[in-house]
Amino acid sequence: PDGQITPSSSGSADTSPGGSATPTWKAPPKTWGGMLLAIGPAIVVSGSVIGSGELINVPVQAAKFGFVLFWAVILSCIIKYFLQVELGRHCLVHNRTTIQALNLVPGPRFRGTSWIGIFYIGGYTISVVTIGGIMAATAGLFTSVMPIGGSEEVSTVSWSVIIFAVIGSILWFSLYDALEKLIAVLVCGFSLSVVVALLLLIFSPNPAYPLTLADVASGMTFSLGDPAERAAVAFAVISLLGALGTTANEMFMYPYWILEKGYARNVGSDDDEGRIERAKGWIRVLQLDAGVATLLATVITAAYFLVGCAILHKKGEVPTGMNVVEQLSQIYTETYGAWSYGVFMFGGFCTLFSTIVVVVAASGRMWTDLLSSMGVLNYDDPTARRRYNRIFQNIYLTAFLGITLYSTLSGVPPEKLVIMGQFINGLVNTPLLMIGIIYLAYKTDNRLRMSTVTSLMLILTAGAIMVCIVMGLFGGPGH
């Protein structure tokens, strides 16, 4: 809840109304079971990580290009783990929001706010055109199942307005906290069922769409495939980098959920005895938290891609248009049978709907953080923070409705908006945030800083991301 966190650059303890310090620390769990019960930000992040990238972008790219992009799918999921952990570590240790942390990065400032935070939120605002596409796809899903009005266009517009009103109400009345775990269970359950669909394709004695290890191996050659399609495949590589796993936008949002979960508060203030050991314990929880999200995203995304290749690519059908989700239902109906159509459509709704809610909620927090850094409001004032959160949540939600209506009335396919926004995220937001995170990783308290091995992995991560971007822009060495 908005009023429960008071992040600051000092990491000082909370104070009671009388002004005396009150202990706020909490010992970290030491067992695997205890740590798993303590994770939480991964649940929220997974609500947006397992979303449009997996449900729309991945199957569409699989249908277009086949197995050749499997390496990019896997790499895009796992490559950002160390970046996510180091941003989370810094904000947990120092009790800082993302903007407060990025303000440490050298360079020009505007009203005390670092250039990198300002440029990032600018890129973020452009990239979330993706959510307009998701809202359009969600409205199209409802039109396929329960049409309203006399035409597909009228029905899609009507459902768009209904979705807008429902999400606005959920966020206004702070109902999402109550829905968080239910939605996470539904999304994860639906997504894991895609893994079962993959296993059915592999182990079924007489599958209609056979999938072999040779098919999978053909996608791990780090190739861009047919020279005639290389430009389109290269575009897809950057789009997948911006769409899959914990993307730049989810990484940017991650510290907000860490703070709201109370990890930084649990560490206590500098004056509390045992603070360093508690911080190490909560960092281990954070590492597990990020690891769970990465593992889930990798397994589920790989399943979406391989099933999409085995069915959609081999059928030569590329889903498109307002009923793109209905067309994608083939990855269920061709493996489970016709009865699974309803299951897919319900699961698709949960996946897309949770993505919209999480992104809208986080957008409000990001802008509130930015404006507080510029002195517009006091971030430690829960009333002001809640007010600005709501203002920007409504602005973004209204903008998403506008994009959805534009997509519907102008005939722009939702998947194109989704893929374009994720391309911008991969090309602009990912390297920009990566620069800030690497700098912050070496500014974290020496006693709690990453190990030498983690430092090496962080540098390798940055190199791999830049290679993917270069390959996406220029077709890679020799091409």
pTM for the model stands at 0.82
Cβ atoms < 10 Å from Cβ of 412: 18
The residue among 2, 346, 293 whose CA lies nearest residue 145 is 346
Give me 216's structure tokens. 């999978």
Report DSSP state, residue 55: I
CA-nearest of 339, 355, 349 to 141 is 349
Question: Taking the alpha carbons of 193, 252, 164, 383 in that order, is the dihedral positive or negative?
Answer: positive
Six-digit token string for 32? 């695997």
Beta bridge partners of 109: 114
Cα-based angle 202, 347, 130 (whole degrees, multiple of 5)? 100
Candidates 364, 428, 458, 468; CA nearest to 80 is 458
- Cα separation of 125 and 424, whole Å? 10
Tell me the two tokens of residue 237.
């590589």
Residue of 478, 479, 475, 477 whose CA lies nearest to 238:
475
Q: End-to-end CA distance of the chain, in Å?
A: 51
Give the torsion sign (CA, 294, 300, 318, 134).
negative
Question: What are phi and psi for residue 114, nearest 5 degrees?
Answer: -65, 145
The pLDDT score that the predictor gives to residue 174 is: 72
**What size, in residues, is the chain?**
479
Please tell me the distance from the alpha carbon of residue 360 to that of residue 401, in angstroms, as a whole number: 12
pLDDT for 152 equals: 86
pLDDT of residue 353: 84
Q: Mapping DSSP to helix (H, G, I), strand (E, B) and coil, where does residue 109 land? A: strand
User: 74 vs 58, 217, 344, CA distance in Å?
Assistant: 11, 13, 24
Cα(233)–Cα(230) distance, integer angstroms: 5
**What pLDDT, on the 0 to 100 scale, is given for residue 17?**
38
Q: Match 């949960």 to its residue by tokens.
A: 350
Q: How many other C-beta atoms lie within 10 A of the C-beta of residue 181?
A: 11
pLDDT for 379-395, tens place per residue?
889 899 889 999 999 99
Tokens of 134: 């998701």
Closest CA to 306 of 187, 184, 200: 200
The pLDDT score that the predictor gives to residue 329 is 87
Q: Could you list the mean pLDDT of each consecutive 10-residue stretch along the chain, which spans 479 residues?
A: 37 40 74 81 61 78 89 89 92 91 93 92 89 90 87 90 91 69 69 82 76 86 78 86 81 84 82 83 90 85 88 86 83 85 85 83 88 91 90 93 91 88 90 93 92 92 89 63
Amino acid letter, 109: R
CA 46/CA 354 separation, integer angstroms = 9
Nearest to residue 256, comparing CAs of 47, 50, 98? 98
User: Helix (H, G, I), strand (E, B), or coil: what is residue 302?
Assistant: helix
Give pLDDT, residue 34: 85
Tens digit of pLDDT for each residue in 343-359? Answer: 888 888 888 888 888 88
Report how far residue 395's alpha carbon sits from residue 244's, in angstroms, rounded to the nearest whole number: 26
In the 8-state DSSP scheme, what is residue 67? G
Nearest to 47 by CA among 446, 362, 463, 373: 362
Q: What gap in Å lies between CA 373 and CA 110, rounded to an integer?
A: 10
Alpha helix positions (H), 79-175: 81-94, 98-102, 115-127, 129-145, 152-172
